[in-house]
Amino acid sequence: MLLTLDILTTAAILFIVSIGLLAIFGVLKIINFAHGAWLTVGAYCAVVTAKLGLNPWAALPLAFAVGAALGGLAEHFIIRPLYRRPLDAILATWGLGIVVGQLVTLAFGRDVQLTPNLYAGTVEILGVDYSAYRLVAFGIALAIGTLFALIIERTRLGLSARAVIMNETLARSLGIDTGRVRLVVFMIGAGFAGLAGVLLTPLTSVDPNMGVSWLIGAFMLVMVADASYLALAAACLVFGAAQVLISTFVSPILGSIAIAVLAALVLRISPKGFSRA
């Protein structure tokens, strides 16, 4: 039972962390290696919220807004010149991540920051005591997934984004402003990354480099999911389960590389990953 809960909540957290990266990769075909920095920025929004004495949940809208605003700037000045050089875009966004990390360090210092817990305590569920926050996180992941699905499936922006993913030339010839679609999607992706940063604060220590440790896992999940959020959810479940099971029964260290190794193997066998299934 504990194992099942661990798997579900781990998958939920992976999904929260990866969804912003997926949105950007799907539409822009660009891998945003500054994703880790956006997670960090989001977490520091929680730090700021706490310092201002606000309700910890107020950090969520703040982080989304800050992430989206920074994302807009990044898209305009860094991503746009590099659409035709996708490998260089990985490097430039990585460099941006370094810059953001150092700015955070200059502003807040390099020490670990304490943030108030968003939702403390444990609850008893089916006979085991379990961290209430991890359960809340599971619910939030469902909510974020639903919100994302609604944006993609129901809004005009989501439709335009899908059109750009499927056939950008046709989208452009029909009069869709593909540049604007890219900008907005990048802002939303960065905003979601900011949200994820806040949601990570109860689970991990907050320091200027916290985002990097999440980046590779998110990156590999997105590679496997290609551009599909349903495939991402599936990948989070499968690889999250592998991580939990290997950590529990084999070794935590092997568990920590399970996602990267398994995803690499899946991609070797099927370059489109889970999205084909």
Binding-site ranges for other proteins (CB under 8 A): 31, 78, 81-82, 85-88, 90-92, 94-99, 101-103, 105-106, 110, 156, 159-160, 162-163, 166-167, 169-177, 212, 216, 219-220, 223, 251, 253-254, 256-257, 260-261, 264, 267-268, 271
CB nearer other proteins, residue 45 or residue 176: 176
Structure tokens at 55: 């309700």
CB nearer other proteins, residue 2 or residue 267: 267
Bridge partners of 124, per DSSP, are: 129
Tell me how far, at minimum, the Cβ of 65 lies from other proteins, in Å: 24
| Chain centroid, CA 36 distance in Å | 8
CA dihedral 126, 144, 203, 61 (to 10 degrees): -130
CB nearer other proteins, residue 67 or residue 158: 158
Tell me how far, at minimum, the Cβ of 59 lies from other proteins, in Å: 24
Tell me how far, at minimum, the Cβ of 89 lies from other proteins, in Å: 8
Tell me how far, at minimum, the Cβ of 1 lies from other proteins, in Å: 29
CB nearer other proteins, residue 57 or residue 83: 83
Tell me how far, at minimum, the Cβ of 172 lies from other proteins, in Å: 5
CB nearer other proteins, residue 86 or residue 139: 86
CB nearer other proteins, residue 84 or residue 121: 84
**Of 199, 229, 219, nearest in space to 259 by CA:** 219
Structure tokens at 235: 């990948």
Q: CA 81 to CA 58: how far, in whole Å?
A: 35
CB nearer other proteins, residue 67 or residue 97: 97
Tell me how far, at minimum, the Cβ of 48 lies from other proteins, in Å: 19
DSSP string, the chain: -HHHHHHHHHHHHHHHHHHHHHHHHHHH----TTHHHHHHHHHHHHHHHHHTT--GGGHHHHHHHHHHHHHHHHIIIIIGGGTT-HHHHHHHHHHHHHHHHHHHHHHH-SSPBP---SS-SEEEETTEEEEHHHHHHHHHHHHHHHHHHHHHHHSHHHHHHHHHHH-HHHHHHTT--HHHHHHHHHHHHHHHHHHHHHHHTTTS-B-TTHHHHHHHHHHHHHHHHTT-HHHHHHHHHHHHHHHHHHHHHT-HHHHHHHHHHHHHHHHHH-TTGGGG-
CB nearer other proteins, residue 135 or residue 221: 221
Tell me how far, at minimum, the Cβ of 67 lies from other proteins, in Å: 19
Tell me how far, at minimum, the Cβ of 64 lies from other proteins, in Å: 24
